[in-house]
Amino acid sequence: MPRIVIPALCVLAILTGCFNTGDSNRISLWGIRAPEGGGEYEYLPDAAYITLYRAEHPNGAAVVICPGGGFGMRVSGPEGHKIAEWLNQHGITGIVLDYRLPKGRPEVPLLDARQAIRLTRAHAGEWGIDPARIGILGFSAGGNVAATVATLPVPGDASAKDPELQQLSHPDFGALVYPVISMQDGLTHPGSRSSLLGPEPTQAMLDRFSAERNVSAQTPPMYLAHAVDDALVPIESSRLFVAAMREAGRPVKLLETPDGGHGFDDYTGPSWFAWKKDFLAWLVEIGVIPAQDQ
């Protein structure tokens, strides 16, 4: 068995549970040892952290943001940091998640998103957040991460010594923008599916990462926005998710924009501004933010 040498700084990281990456607002999710699923771990994981954006006048709500990128990259600028800054303008704490790319490990983005929610709840008091108003927002492939977290709940472990692992890893609400919800043929983005699940996924793998098949009474309220003319990700996947939510009796809203394509015209134009305005109004409707902050 190879000998693993752990620097002294990393030993300190283990003892403290997580460590700062140099930026006071950028926080490691795992320290030096991150799970890959199936009992496997990687050491000194690359790009497994959150960046915290605090609002000048916080209202207690927080959103973990999952950028897209087809699971081969992360579009962390327009679908991450810019979104956090926009949320700050409305009193919402933005938390940009740089999840690890799968690279043959399909559980990795999901594990990172769960840990981001746990970390946020564990530090809610310190960060001025209401632990019962923590949501998740995902774009494109990041929408698959957000939808999977929302539909596959994992309870906290009350007996865990790590306070983060004691926390519920389930969001209180979710939002999916032109999301890759499904992994099923005819409903998915083939490139995202291949990057996440590999070239020959089993039906069990396809079902696990197809959120429309995993909606339950535990799924939180969900907001979706999708363009009818999206040529990369069929809007039908969002419609099926909405149908599953309604069948389960769960609160849901879908904004169908007539155009904008995938990415809503590169983050500009009527469809891009429409979903942002509509999403804020929905947050007021479900009681996450006060009306004056929309």
What are the pLDDT digits (tens) for 167-196? 778 999 999 999 999 999 999 999 999 999
Q: What percent of the chain has pLDDT over 70?
A: 88
The reported pLDDT for the residue numbered 8 is 35
Flag whether pLDDT at 5 surpasses 60. Answer: no
Strand order in the sheet with 134-139: 26-28, 49-53, 93-98, 62-66, 134-139, 173-177, 222-227, 252-257
- Does this model's pTM top 0.85? yes
**How far is it, in rounded angstroms, from Cα 71 to Cα 18?**
25
The token pair that represents 28 in the structure block? 């490691």
The token pair that represents 116 in the structure block? 């981001």
In terms of DSSP bridges, do strands 134-139 and 173-177 run parallel, antiparallel, or are they unpaired?
parallel
Task: Report the half-sphere exposure of 121 (CA within 13 A, side-chain side).
Answer: 25
E strands, the chain, where?
A: 26-28, 33-37, 40-43, 49-53, 62-66, 93-98, 134-139, 173-177, 222-227, 252-257
CATH number given to 47-293: 3.40.50.1820
Flag whether pLDDT at 165 surpasses 80. Answer: no
Burial 5-43 (b: 16+ CB within 10 A, else e): eeeeebeebeeebbbeeeeeeebbbbbbebbbeeeeebe
